[in-house]
A and B are shown apart, each in its own frame.
Chain A
Amino acid sequence: MPPAATAPTGVPPAAAEAVRAEGIVRRYGPTLALDGARLTVRAGEAHALVGRNGAGKSTLVSVLTGMQRPDAGEVTFGGAPAPRWGDTAAWQRTAACVHQKSMTVPDLTVAENLYLGRLPGRRAIRWRALRERARALLAEYGVDVDPAARIRELGVEQRQFVEIARALSFGARLIILDEPTARLDAGGIDRLFGKLRALRAQGVAFLFISHHLQEVYELCDTVTVFRDARHVLTAPVADLAEDALVEAMTGERQAAVARRRAPAARATGEPVLRTERLALAGHFAPLDLTVRAGEVVGLAGATGSGNTAIGETLVGLRAPDNGRITVRGRVVRGGSVPHALGAGIGYVPEDRHREGLIAGRSVAENATLTVTDQLGPFGTVLPARTREFARRMITALDIKATGPGQPVSGLSGGNQQKVVIARALAREPAVLVAVRPTNGVDVKSKDALLGVVRAAADGGSCALIVSDELDDLRICDRVLAVFHGRVTAAFPAGWGDHELVAAMEGARGSEETPHGSEETPHGTRQAAGTAGTAGTEGTEGTEGTEGTEGTTP
Chain B
Amino acid sequence: MIETASPPATVASRPPASPAPRAALARWRDLSLVPVIFVLGVIGFIVSPAFLTQDNLIGVIQQSTELGLLVLGEALILISGRMDLSLESTIGLAPVVALWLVMPAHGARFAGLGLLPAWTAVPLCLAVGAAIGATNGFLILKLRVNGFIATLGMLTMLRGLQVGISEGQSIGDVPASFAYLGKAAWLGVPAAVWICLALFAAGGGVLGYLRHGRALYAIGGNPEAARAAGIRVDRLTWIVLAAGGVLAAFAGILYTGHYGAVSASQGNGWIFQVFAAAVIGGISLKGGRGTLFGALTGVLTLQLVINVMTLGGVPPLWTQFLNGMIIIIALVISRFTSGEKQD
Binding site for B on A (CB under 8 A): 28-33, 53-56, 58-59, 61-62, 67-68, 99-101, 178, 228-229, 315-317, 337-338, 340-341, 347, 349, 354-361, 365, 369-370, 372-373, 375-376, 379-383, 394, 400-406, 409-412, 415, 423
**B12-20, B238-246, B258-266 - the one binding chain A:** B12-20
| CB neighbours of A409 from chain B (8 A) | 6
Does B187 make an interface contact (CB < 8 A)?
A: no
Q: Is the CB of B18 within 8 A of A382?
A: no
Q: Is the CB of A365 within 8 A of B217?
A: yes
Q: Is the CB of A412 within 8 A of B11?
A: yes
Q: Is the CB of B211 within 8 A of A410?
A: no
Q: Is the CB of A379 within 8 A of B3?
A: no
User: Complex formed: what's the CA distance from A360 to B79 in Å?
Assistant: 12
Q: Is the CB of B209 within 8 A of A356?
A: no
| CB neighbours of A354 from chain B (8 A) | 222, 224-225
Q: Is the CB of B232 within 8 A of A355?
A: no
Interface size class of B (residues with CB under 8 A): 35 or more
| CB neighbours of A59 from chain B (8 A) | 1, 4, 8
Pairs A–B under 8 Å by Cβ, sample size 7: A99-B2, A178-B1, A229-B8, A358-B288, A361-B217, A402-B18, A405-B26
User: Complex formed: what's the CA distance from A29 to B8 in Å?
Assistant: 11
Smallest Cβ-Cβ distance to B213: which chain A residue: A381
Of A337, A361, A400, A404, the contact of B227 (CB 8 Å cutoff): A337
- In the complex, the number of residue pairs spanning A and B with C-beta atoms less than 8 Å apart equals 156
If A62-B1, A358-B218, A361-B217 touch, whether A30 touches B10 (CB-CB below 8 Å) is yes
Q: Is the CB of B209 within 8 A of A361?
A: no
Shortest beta-carbon distance from B2 to chain A in Å: 7
Shortest beta-carbon distance from A98 to chain B in Å: 12
User: Complex formed: what's the CA distance from A365 to B209 in Å?
Assistant: 12
Which label, helix, strand, loop or mixed, suits the secondary structure of the A interface? loop
Smallest Cβ-Cβ distance to B4: which chain A residue: A58
Does B35 make an interface contact (CB < 8 A)?
A: no
If A355-B228, A380-B209 touch, whether A360 touches B289 (CB-CB below 8 Å) is yes
| CB neighbours of A100 from chain B (8 A) | 3
Q: Is the CB of A394 within 8 A of B16?
A: yes
Shortest beta-carbon distance from A43 to chain B in Å: 24
| CB neighbours of A410 from chain B (8 A) | 6, 11
| CB neighbours of B4 from chain A (8 A) | 33, 54, 56, 58-59, 62
Q: Is the CB of B210 within 8 A of A380?
A: yes
| CB neighbours of A375 from chain B (8 A) | 211
Does B317 make an interface contact (CB < 8 A)?
A: no
User: Complex formed: what's the CA distance from A369 to B16 in Å?
Assistant: 22
Q: Is the CB of B221 within 8 A of A403?
A: no
Does B215 make an interface contact (CB < 8 A)?
A: yes
A-B CB proximity, top 6 nearest: A54-B8, A403-B19, A358-B221, A372-B211, A31-B7, A58-B1
Of A28, A53, A379, A394, the contact of B212 (CB 8 Å cutoff): A379
Q: Is the CB of B221 within 8 A of A359?
A: yes
User: Complex formed: what's the CA distance from A379 to B22 in Å?
Assistant: 27
Q: Is the CB of A31 within 8 A of B10?
A: yes
Of A54, A361, A411, the contact of B288 (CB 8 Å cutoff): A361
Smallest Cβ-Cβ distance to B211: which chain A residue: A372
Q: Is the CB of B226 within 8 A of A358?
A: yes
Interface residues of B in 183-242 (CB under 8 A from A): 208-215, 217-218, 221-222, 224-232
User: Complex formed: what's the CA distance from A58 to B7 in Å?
Assistant: 11
Does B9 make an interface contact (CB < 8 A)?
A: yes
Q: Is the CB of B288 within 8 A of A338?
A: no
Binding site for A on B (CB under 8 A): 1-4, 6-12, 14, 16-19, 22-23, 26, 208-215, 217-218, 221-222, 224-232, 284, 288-289
User: Complex formed: what's the CA distance from A56 to B1 in Å?
Assistant: 11
| CB neighbours of A411 from chain B (8 A) | 6, 11
| CB neighbours of A340 from chain B (8 A) | 230
Shortest beta-carbon distance from B27 to chain A in Å: 11
| CB neighbours of A370 from chain B (8 A) | 229-230
| CB neighbours of B2 from chain A (8 A) | 99, 101
Shortest beta-carbon distance from B204 to chain A in Å: 13
Q: Is the CB of B16 within 8 A of A381?
A: no
Q: Is the CB of B7 within 8 A of A33?
A: yes
User: Complex formed: what's the CA distance from A30 to B13 in Å?
Assistant: 13
| CB neighbours of B8 from chain A (8 A) | 31, 33, 53-56, 59, 229, 412
Q: Is the CB of B229 within 8 A of A369?
A: yes
User: Complex formed: what's the CA distance from A315 to B228 in Å?
Assistant: 8
Smallest Cβ-Cβ distance to A57: which chain B residue: B4
| CB neighbours of B16 from chain A (8 A) | 394, 400-403
Q: Is the CB of B14 within 8 A of A369?
A: no
Q: Is the CB of B210 within 8 A of A317?
A: no
If A58-B1, A360-B284, A405-B19 are given as contacts, then 4 extra A-B residue pairs at C-beta distance below 8 Å, sorted by A number, are A54-B8, A59-B8, A361-B288, A369-B226
User: Complex formed: what's the CA distance from A518 to B9 in Å?
Assistant: 42
| CB neighbours of B289 from chain A (8 A) | 360
| CB neighbours of A402 from chain B (8 A) | 11, 14, 16-19, 22
Q: Is the CB of A360 within 8 A of B225?
A: no
User: Complex formed: what's the CA distance from A153 to B209 in Å?
Assistant: 45
User: Complex formed: what's the CA distance from A54 to B10 in Å?
Assistant: 9
Q: Is the CB of B6 within 8 A of A365?
A: no
Of A29, A58, A67, A337, the contact of B228 (CB 8 Å cutoff): A337
| CB neighbours of A54 from chain B (8 A) | 4, 8-9, 11-12
Shortest beta-carbon distance from B161 to chain A in Å: 37
If A33-B4, A360-B221, A360-B288 touch, whether A369 touches B231 (CB-CB below 8 Å) is yes
User: Complex formed: what's the CA distance from A410 to B288 in Å?
Assistant: 17
User: Complex formed: what's the CA distance from A401 to B16 in Å?
Assistant: 6
If A32-B9, A62-B1 touch, whether A357 touches B215 (CB-CB below 8 Å) is no
Smallest Cβ-Cβ distance to A26: which chain B residue: B4
| CB neighbours of B218 from chain A (8 A) | 358, 361, 365, 369
If A30-B10, A32-B9, A400-B11 touch, whether A358 touches B225 (CB-CB below 8 Å) is yes
